[in-house]
């Protein structure tokens, strides 16, 4: 046990009440560091989801929240952001307990989350609509944005509260009512923020946090005809199911799916900085990041030197519990996920990739109860390999060698994923060419894995649809209404009347 005494909430929140699952079932939440039990939470099912949806429906159709002026909604969101900042340490510790990531990483998450609530609080009163010029005399046209309605929101386990906040904050700023379903294995921080929101005083039914598995609670949200928008972050295969389930009432769909993100190192890059970011780009949260730069592409002239430098640094990465200040990389989230990462290491070997480091669980006796996997480096990789094309979501780097800029771009684009890409060069003309040629939702130039509230995030190709964060992240939660008024209506006599 990480020996942390942290209060956890063991209820879910429906229509302003803290409740158990209607079935009485529960689920044990474990610490991935040593599998010790950290909480017992309700295991909801379709019935609980339907109660939460009905509460959100009432709150949206009849309650004050969507009708509140933007500045008043903004005030509440700002207060929630302030409370998150005030409770930063407790939230960070809770997140680390639940996910295994280092507390330092969780603190960064919490800072980002507080910023997200404050950013969308600031946007809540900025939309003044638009006046159009109709091609007729004595007429006016207004464009107004209105909240889309009841939103189902499904979040994953890797950044539980960060991903939830990307959905909750803009939906609330727009005036929607929400039903959020965190991953069944990492619900604790979302519950805590629901409690903070209760303190702020959102009307009952505006924020419902319902717990349970994807195939029942998540599927109910995606299928329900009372839900107007479904926002999902998770894997591609689940995303495809969501699209099908959502078609029943043609609800709006926002999807943030996986990534296989190339990090391209040209031979004129700042070598030391690029090595540093190649590590940071992958080994945060043991590689369980949708934007991990797990696909490293290095130009011929510096390839061998770069791999040697990377290897030397990777050997020093210190594995351990998230609460140990010396730990640089924690465990994977679950036994099931560890088995998946192990399978990919075996696949890479079978495909002919050359293993330079790791590829297995660590032998340290202190880590045996946790879901640890060693930092792993494969070289001699190519586009034809699964290790290059599929999302592993673990601490594995596959290195590809390339000769020319054209080859690097062509190969980088040759994947079903299009979430993010980064490249390193000092050549200004190349920066312009390559940043436009890479077909990804985010392109980082001389950096990697940077997110902030102001910049939209989302994927090309099968990495998703729609955008979170930024102005566009708010627009996702609105409908556009055109109001046309004729100030001088006269008989048309069109039908000879």
Contact status: 158 vs ligand NAD (CB under 6 A)? yes
With respect to ligand NAD, which residue has the nearer C-beta, 391 or 475?
A: 391
Residue position matching structure tokens 């479904």: 230
Q: Which of 45, 226, 374, 391 touches ligand NAD by CB under 6 A?
A: 391
C-alpha–C-alpha distance, residues 431 and 451, integer Å: 20
Give me the catalytic one of 43, 79, 184, 290. Answer: 290
How many C-beta atoms lie closer than 10 Å to residue 480's C-beta?
Answer: 11
Contact status: 74 vs ligand NAD (CB under 6 A)? no
Contact status: 440 vs ligand NAD (CB under 6 A)? no
φ, ψ for residue 206, nearest 5 deg: -75, -40
Q: Which of 196, 222, 387, 469 touches ligand NAD by CB under 6 A?
A: 222
C-alpha–C-alpha distance, residues 292 and 324, integer Å: 24
Contact status: 242 vs ligand NAD (CB under 6 A)? yes
C-alpha–C-alpha distance, residues 35 and 31, integer Å: 5
Minimum distance, C-beta of residue 142 to ligand NAD, in the bound complex (Å): 34
C-alpha–C-alpha distance, residues 268 and 143, integer Å: 49
Give me the catalytic one of 95, 184, 223, 256. Answer: 256
Contact status: 156 vs ligand NAD (CB under 6 A)? yes
Minimum distance, C-beta of residue 197 to ligand NAD, in the bound complex (Å): 19
Contact status: 231 vs ligand NAD (CB under 6 A)? no
Minimum distance, C-beta of residue 246 to ligand NAD, in the bound complex (Å): 10
With respect to ligand NAD, which residue has the nearer C-beta, 41 or 219?
A: 219
Contact status: 190 vs ligand NAD (CB under 6 A)? no
Minimum distance, C-beta of residue 263 to ligand NAD, in the bound complex (Å): 16
Contact status: 417 vs ligand NAD (CB under 6 A)? no
With respect to ligand NAD, which residue has the nearer C-beta, 247 or 368?
A: 247
Task: Give start and end residues of each alpha helix (H) in 149-265.
Answer: 160-174, 188-200, 219-223, 236-246
Q: Are 308 and 264 a contacting pair, CB within 8 Å?
A: no
C-alpha–C-alpha distance, residues 316 and 302, integer Å: 22
Quick check: is 151 catalytic?
Answer: no
Tokens found for residue 102: 């280092």
Contact status: 234 vs ligand NAD (CB under 6 A)? yes
Contact status: 442 vs ligand NAD (CB under 6 A)? no
Minimum distance, C-beta of residue 182 to ligand NAD, in the bound complex (Å): 6
Mode of pairing for the β-strands spanning 12-14 and 17-19: antiparallel
Quick check: is 176 catalytic?
Answer: no
Q: Which of 29, 38, 257, 348 touches ligand NAD by CB under 6 A?
A: 257
Mode of pairing for the β-strands spanning 252-256 and 464-465: antiparallel
Adjacency order of strands within the sheet including 442-445: 354-357, 376-381, 396-402, 295-299, 262-265, 420-424, 442-445
Give how many residues touch ligand NAD by CB under 6 A. 32
Give, in order, the Cα–Cα distances in Å from 294 to each of 123, 287, 392.
Answer: 35, 8, 8
Residue position matching structure tokens 């604790």: 188
Distance of CA 287 to the CA centre of its chain: 14
The DSSP element (H or E) to which 478 belongs, if any, is: strand 478-486
Contact status: 461 vs ligand NAD (CB under 6 A)? no
Q: Which of 43, 95, 115, 184 touches ligand NAD by CB under 6 A?
A: 184
Catalytically active residues are 256, 290
Q: Which residues bind ligand NAD (CB under 6 A)?
A: 154-159, 163, 181, 183-184, 213-215, 218-219, 222, 233-235, 238, 241-242, 256-259, 290, 391, 393, 419, 459, 464
């Amino acid at each position: 046990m990480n020996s942390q005494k942290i209060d956890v909430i063991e209820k879910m929140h429906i229509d302003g009440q803290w409740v158990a699952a209607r079935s009485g079932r529960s689920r044990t939440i474990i610490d991935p560091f040593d599998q010790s039990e950290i909480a017992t939470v309700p295991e909801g099912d379709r019935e609980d989801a339907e109660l939460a949806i009905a509460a959100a429906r009432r709150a949206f159709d009849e309650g004050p929240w969507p009708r509140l002026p933007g500045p008043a909604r903004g005030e509440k969101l700002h207060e929630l952001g302030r409370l998150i900042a005030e409770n930063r340490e407790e939230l960070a510790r809770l997140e680390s307990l639940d996910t295994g990531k280092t507390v330092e990483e969780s603190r960064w998450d919490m800072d980002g989350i507080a910023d997200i609530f404050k950013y969308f609080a600031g946007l809540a009163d900025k939309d003044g609509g638009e006046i159009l010029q109709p091609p007729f005399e004595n007429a006016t046209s207004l464009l107004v944005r209105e909240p889309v309605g009841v939103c189902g929101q499904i979040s994953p386990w890797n950044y539980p509260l960060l991903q939830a906040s990307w959905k909750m904050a803009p939906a609330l700023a727009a005036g929607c009512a929400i039903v959020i379903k965190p991953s069944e294995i990492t619900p604790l921080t979302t519950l805590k923020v629901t409690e903070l929101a209760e303190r702020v005083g959102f009307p009952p039914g505006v924020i419902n946090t319902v717990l349970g598995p994807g195939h029942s609670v998540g599927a109910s949200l995606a299928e329900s005809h009372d839900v107007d928008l479904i926002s999902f972050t998770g894997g591609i295969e689940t995303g495809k199911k969501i699209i099908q389930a959502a078609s029943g009432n043609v609800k709006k769909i926002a999807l943030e799916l996986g990534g296989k993100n190339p990090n391209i190192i040209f031979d004129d890059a700042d070598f030391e900085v690029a090595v540093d970011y190649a590590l940071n780009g992958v080994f945060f949260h043991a590689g369980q990041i949708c934007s991990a730069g797990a696909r490293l592409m290095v130009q011929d002239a510096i390839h061998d030197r770069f791999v040697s430098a990377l290897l030397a640094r990777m050997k020093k990465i210190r594995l351990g519990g998230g609460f140990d200040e010396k730990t640089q990389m924690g465990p994977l989230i679950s036994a099931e996920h560890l088995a998946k990462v192990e399978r990919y290491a075996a696949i890479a070997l079978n495909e002919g990739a050359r293993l330079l480091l790791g590829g297995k669980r660590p032998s340290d006796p202190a880590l045996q109860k946790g879901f640890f996997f060693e930092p792993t480096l494969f070289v001699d990789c190519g586009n034809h390999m699964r290790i290059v094309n599929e999302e592993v979501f673990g601490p594995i780097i596959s290195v590809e060698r390339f000769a020319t800029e054209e080859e690097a771009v062509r190969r980088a684009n040759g994947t079903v994923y299009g979430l993010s890409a980064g490249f390193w060069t000092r050549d200004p003309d190349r920066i312009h060419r390559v940043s436009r040629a890479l077909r990804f939702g985010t392109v980082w130039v001389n950096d990697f894995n940077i997110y902030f509230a102001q910049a939209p995030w989302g994927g090309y190709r099968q990495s998703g649809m729609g955008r979170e964060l930024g102005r566009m992240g708010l627009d996702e939660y609105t409908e556009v209404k055109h109001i046309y008024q004729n100030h001088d209506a006269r008989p048309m006599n069109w039908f000879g009347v």
